[in-house]
Amino acid sequence: MDDISIFPHKESVPTDEELKIALGTTYDIWIQLHDFVLERYPKGIPDWNYPGKKWGWNYRIKDKKRAIIYFLPRENYFKVALVFGQKAYDMVMESEISAEIKNDLQQATKYAEGRGIRIEVKNTGIIPEIMQLVEIKLLN
């Protein structure tokens, strides 16, 4: 199965109602994380982004230079994606973040902007770690 947005059509930016239907019970978790990021970084600019047919629509919160977090909508769940530069990467490795996330980050290809990870969000269990990762990202 391809890992593509449930909103593949460039012509139509997803609406809040479409998102709510598509995410089902995880919609409230999306909103919780969205609001958390904007509370921590009020200057954040939220917007829908269409990087191409291969990926479909995603939602991101960014500042002027970089994306802080990406929300990747899937059917009845979503993923978040974060990219960490070297300083932030080192902080994650020294944190209390789970070994699984640290391992995923270690295994990620290193690009000029850093290493990126995607985390599936199907319930609230992972939320504290995502919040901690956002906090680390915002420090760097």
- What the chain holds in terms of domains, given with CATH numbers, is 16-139 (3.90.1150)
Q: What is the pLDDT of residue 78?
A: 97
Nearest Cα residue to 117 out of 82, 77, 72:
82
Q: What is the pLDDT of residue 1?
A: 41
pLDDT digits (tens, 9 = 90+) for 77-122: 999 999 999 999 999 999 999 999 999 999 999 988 899 999 999 9
Give the list of residues 6+ apart from residue 7 with CB closer than 8 angstroms, or none: 14, 18, 22, 56, 57, 73
Residue 2: band (very low, low, confident or very high) from pLDDT cuts 50, 70, 90? low
Mean pLDDT of the chain: 93
Distances (CA, A) of 79 to 70, 96, 117: 8, 21, 10
For residues 70 and 130, the answer to whether their CB atoms sit within 8 Å is no
Between CA 49 and CA 115 the distance in angstroms is 20
Question: Residue 91 phi/psi, 5° resolution?
Answer: -65, -40
The percent of the chain in helix, strand and coil, each rounded to the nearest 5, is 40, 25, 30
Between CA 112 and CA 96 the distance in angstroms is 26
For residues 80 and 128, the answer to whether their CB atoms sit within 8 Å is no
